[in-house]
Amino acid sequence: AQKVTQAQTEISVVEKEDVTLDCVYETRDTTYYLFWYKQPPSGELVFLIRRNSFDEQNEISGRYSWNFQKSTSSFNFTITASQVVDSAVYFCALSEAKAAGNKLTFGGGTRVLVKP
């Protein structure tokens, strides 16, 4: 069975501080996909990034960066120079790589509060 753990339930920072969100996953699959989603107060889940299990190259996109380490089953996410608009709940998710019937297994989420 797949499992995603986000140990941090809430993080509070002051604007312009960096924020790193931890994600640890469990799966028996050799091929899988990892995601980060952002959920603002409005409720919709906003897709941020997808990584497949063979792509351990870390990436920076604007103020966002990701650190995927297969050896430790971790997929951490960092917001650099946080802004008030970054306040939201962030979810890490894991998916099988089947041809059909894929489902996302989500972690419990980390609430990020950025104070001005």
Using CB under 8 A, list all residues that contact other proteins. 4, 33, 35, 37, 42-47, 50, 52, 91, 93, 97, 100-109
Query: What number of residues does the chain have?
Result: 116
Which residue, 82 or 105, has its beta carbon nearer to other proteins? 105
Report the half-sphere exposure of 20 (CA within 13 A, side-chain side).
7
Which residue, 68 or 91, has its beta carbon nearer to other proteins? 91
Nearest approach, Cβ of residue 65 and other proteins (Å): 18
DSSP letter string over 65-86? EEEEEGGGTEEEEEESS--GGG
Which residue, 44 or 85, has its beta carbon nearer to other proteins? 44
**Phi and psi, residue 8, nearest 5°:** -85, 120
